[in-house]
């Protein structure tokens, strides 16, 4: 889409799901009575003007787990992901019909402020996009500043350290926090973007092909980080890399498209191990075994 295209990364045949990522029966650290950050999407249709890009999606996204969205190019994965924090609305003429519930609140309900939605539902993009001239420190607190709260230095120091530690970046940058974020490697920049997204303590983290611009070592670091972050956040990731979906996610949703000009649809969503070994739908089987896409 006009949103970033994937690079050369393509899915492979014969993907072995990583059973170590198997879904815990209950959210790992969901305290009794705590609000769980589960998402319920019902009858969601997403339009760019007259064009319906995504049709009739209903799904439940489990709290504090990783849900991967896979499917061929143009089937609407990024569009759907962006609709989960109303990010698609930055495109003129884009709108949705349907409901996205988070913590019992409809993110599309009357009077709901999209900026408030994006505070609860953070996003990490395909290409690391730290503010280039801003220091590492200021990058981390950029979102908090936008939220307009006046912050004391002691407070921000604490947030910066906590967020960078949480993104497994602290040790690498603690001695150069005043240097520009653009001076970091691609993988470090992506971890900086994750620190920035988590600094505002969102409930949900959306990741749109977060590793597709990274080398294998940095990819591994981000995947490891995702497994740690799922203890605290509900994570939804779009990926073209089926091994990645199998390695990190507990649930996988397969989207498909019948042809050019047709809307993308959710074919099925299930436990990742089932999607890759014994999916319910033939189209899913064909896709995960590399017969098309
Ligand atoms: N800004 C836009 N205006 C109009 N149509 C758009 C826009 N962005 C995306 N689309 C269309 O919406 C459909 C879904 O695109 P989307 O990028 O969400 O699919 P995708 O599955 O994420 O694709 P890819 O894997 O190639 O990134 C496509 O037909 C695309 O051309």
Percent of the chain with pLDDT over 90: 75
How far is Cα 74 from Cα 259, in angstroms, rounded to an integer? 10
pLDDT, position 35 = 65
For residues 33 and 137, the model is more confident at 137
ipTM above 0.90, yes or no: yes
pTM of the model: 0.87
Ligand 1 mutation pick, 53, 94, 206, 257, max ligand atoms within 8 A of CB: 53
- Whole-number percent of the chain with pLDDT over 70: 87
Q: Whose CA is nearest to atom 24 of ligand 1?
A: 73
Query: Residues 206, 123: contact at Cβ < 8 Å?
Result: yes
Range of lowest pLDDT (141-150, 153-162, 176-185): 141-150
pLDDT in tens, 101-131: 998 899 999 999 999 999 999 999 998 999 9
Nearest-atom number in ligand 1 for the CA of 91 is 1
Which residue, by CA, sits nearest to atom 30 of ligand 1? 1
Among all chains, which residue has been given the structure tokens 């500043």? Answer: 145
| Contacts within 8 Å (CB) and 24+ apart, 212-218 | 212/6, 212/7, 212/9, 212/126, 212/239, 212/240, 212/241, 213/7, 213/126, 213/127, 213/128, 213/186, 214/186, 214/187, 214/190, 215/186, 215/187, 217/187, 218/185, 218/186, 218/187, 218/188, 218/190
Ligand 1 atom closest to the Cα of residue 240 is 25
All structural domains of the chain, each given as residue ranges with its CATH number in brackets, are: 39-289 (3.40.50.300)
Average pLDDT, the chain: 87
Residue 209 falls in which region: left (phi positive, over 0), alpha (psi -120 to 50) or beta: left
Residue 160 binned pLDDT confidence (cut-offs 50, 70, 90): very high
**Residue 152 banded pLDDT, cuts 50, 70, 90:** confident
Cβ(210) – ligand 1 distance below 6 Å: no
Cα distances from 230 to residues 30, 196, 198, 220, 237, in angstroms, run 11, 16, 12, 16, 12
**β-bridge mates for residue 255, sequence order:** 266
Say what the pLDDT of residue 149 is: 64
């Amino acid at each position: 889409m006009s949103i970033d295209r994937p690079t050369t990364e393509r899915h492979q045949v014969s993907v072995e799901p990583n059973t170590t990522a198997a879904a815990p029966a209950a959210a790992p650290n969901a305290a009794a009575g705590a609000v769980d950050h589960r998402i319920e999407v019902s009858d969601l249709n997403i339009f760019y003007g007259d064009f319906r890009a995504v049709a009739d999606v209903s799904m439940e996204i489990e709290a504090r787990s990783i849900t991967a969205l896979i499917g061929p190019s143009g089937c609407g994965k990024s569009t759907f992901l962006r609709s989960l924090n109303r990010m698609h609305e930055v495109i003129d003429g884009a709108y949705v019909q349907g409901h996205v519930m988070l913590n019992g609140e409809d993110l599309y309900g009357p009077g709901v402020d999209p900026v408030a939605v994006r505070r609860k539902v953070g996003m990490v993009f395909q290409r690391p996009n730290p503010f280039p001239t801003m220091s590492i420190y200021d990058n981390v607190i950029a979102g908090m500043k936008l939220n307009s709260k006046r912050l004391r230095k002691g407070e921000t120091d604490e947030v910066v350290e906590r967020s960078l530690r949480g993104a497994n970046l602290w040790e690498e940058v603690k001695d150069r926090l005043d240097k520009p974020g653009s001076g970091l490697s691609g993988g470090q920049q992506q971890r900086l973007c994750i620190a920035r997204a988590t600094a505002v303590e969102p409930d949900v983290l959306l990741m749109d092909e977060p590793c597709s611009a990274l080398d294998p070592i940095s990819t591994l670091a981000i995947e490891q980080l995702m497994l740690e972050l799922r203890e605290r956040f509900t994570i939804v990731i779009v990926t073209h890399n089926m091994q990645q979906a199998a390695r990190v996610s507990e649930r996988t949703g397969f989207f498909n498209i019948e042809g050019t000009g047709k809307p993308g649809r959710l074919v099925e969503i299930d436990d990742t191990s089932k999607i890759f070994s014994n999916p319910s739908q033939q189209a899913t089987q064909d896709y995960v075994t590399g017969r098309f896409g």
